[in-house]
Structure 1
Amino acid sequence: MIRILLADDQALVRGALASMLRMESDLDVVAEVGSGTEVVPAAKRTLPDIALVDVQMPGRDGLSVTAELHRALPGCRVLICTTFSRPGYLSRAMAAGAAGFVVKDSTPEQLVNAIRRVHAGLRFVDPALAAQSLASGASPLTDREVDILRATAEGGTVADIAAAVGLTEGTVRNHLSSAIGKTQARTRAEAARLAEVNGWL
């Protein structure tokens, strides 16, 4: 029996997934959580074989949770299951230790197949997303540029951003200029939006 933890902030989606998976004779949903902060404690209590984790959740995002879960319970393999098929999410998920990545518009058969493959020690990546990720390449942004674009997305002046990230205003302007060039945007707000769309933030 493959023991599964479901982490998704949408109760209806989580319930539907649990019901669907429980119909399979070799799958058992042992925990259901609705926020990122609940994942690791629930996994430690229930010891699942597979954690099916959404990317965008309250508390903590699924990518940082994946890294923590990978450290805390190395025997639990993470399969990212999200609405957002962004190439940047795929590379960040794999770097965090995820064993697979599926999108929510996959068929039930594809999802069950992904779970079984990941449980068998293999990797599974949605084929269309894998092709898109290869075509778009890795994120061109540095870690510091990512921090600054995240602060930019929250609004505020350059002074506000500088205070939020602990840099001088001149250094923030330099990083913003670099990020705008790398994303081929016209403004810092557009650069933040493009980086978000690509899954780089």
Structure 2
Amino acid sequence: MTSPVVIADDQPVVVAGVEAALNTHRFNVVARVNDTDTLIQTMAEADCEVLVADPFMPYGRHPDGVGLVRRIRDMRPDVGIVVMSRLGNLPSLRLMLDLGVSALFDKRASLRDMPTAVYAAHIGRTFLSPAVRRALRDMDYGNGLGGTSNPLTQRELDVLRAYAQGMSLIDISRLMERSIKTISRQKRTAMAKLGLKNDAQFYQYLANVRAGLVDDFMSAGYDDDPDVPTLLEEDDDDDEAYVATKRRGGAARKARASRKGRT
């Protein structure tokens, strides 16, 4: 008995390669799609048991990435999903696992392992390409989830939550009465602990938090022990001086404006 499979990727050559790999085993490819709109329509109509897809497809009106996976899981909870992707956005891949994706397949890996990944998704088991497994393990250790003492600090959590609320760097600096330099360093340190390599990944992560795809930054853990020093404590004196300077500057500007108003 064959298992019906849908393959989705914006590159037709990738779809053809996956289909060739599956045809040597007991899988029947019933649909091939290259954009998010066609994929949503296909999943609503096709009789399939496994979806093999790169969810980061730039074409179509429907959102790609984590949002696309969540939509498909809501539509078809009965379908096993194999996500094939490069390892450029590990936090998103981690979220996809949390949403119920069965397999994460490294696009750089040989397709000879694709039938194993599809079979795992078909029977409800998990498959991770070796490179994916190593990358997620390293990210977990970086987040403090792998037994290291490098979790997010309470200050870093406060900065992340402020960014998630749409505040700017300057706004956060004023709210927390810390220098821009300190807030910026807290942001960079938190990004490193979360496995986020650039601002694009950082703001995508924040979007996922606002969309409810991540419950909270607390999932990365944090250190609430006041006796444990952080990298930011060394700037406390500078921060207080910075805030005092800003307050004096603000008071001076108000005084000048008042004098001009009386003249």
- Please give the TM-score of this superposition, normalised by the length of structure 1: 0.71
Structure 1 distance, partners of 2:22, 2:198, is 40
1:86 Cα deviation from its structure 2 partner? 4.4
Residues 175-184 or 70-79, more deviating: 175-184
Summarize the alignment of residues 27-38 of structure 1 with structure 2, pairs less than 5 Å apart.
27-38=27-38
Summarize the alignment of residues 117-132 of structure 1 with structure 2, pairs less than 5 Å apart.
117-132=120-135
Say if 1:183 and 1:194, in contact at 8 Å, map to a contact too.
no
Tell me what 2:187 maps to.
179
Offset from partner CA, 1:145-200 (integer Å, 9 cap, x none): 59969xxxxxxxxxxxxxxx86567446679734234236xxxxx8415748xx95
Structure 1 gap segments, 5+ residues each: 150-164, 185-189
| Residue number among 101, 104, 129 corresponding to 2:104 in the alignment | 101
Tell me what 1:83 maps to.
86
CA gap 1:168/1:117 in 2 versus in 1, 3 angstroms: closer
Tell me what 1:153 maps to.
none
Percent same amino acid among aligned pairs? 16
Which amino acid letter does the alignment assign opposite residue 114 of structure 1?
A
Residues 78-87 or 101-110, more deviating: 78-87
Summarize the alignment of residues 136-155 of structure 1 with structure 2, pairs less than 5 Å apart.
136-137=139-140, 138=143, 145=160
Matched, 1:49 2:49: yes
Structure 2 distance, partners of 1:147, 1:18, is 46
Structure 1 distance, partners of 2:90, 2:169, is 31
Structure 2 distance, partners of 1:32, 1:62, is 18
- Please give the TM-score of this superposition, normalised by the length of structure 2: 0.56
In our comparison, the structure showing a higher alpha carbon Rg is 2
SS at match of 2:104: strand
Structure 2 gap segments, 5+ residues each: 145-151, 177-182, 207-263
Say if 2:81 and 2:101, in contact at 8 Å, map to a contact too.
yes
Residues 83-92 or 165-174, more deviating: 165-174
CA gap 1:118/1:147 in 2 versus in 1, 3 angstroms: farther
Structure 2 distance, partners of 1:103, 1:172, is 38
CA RMSD of aligned residues (A): 3.4
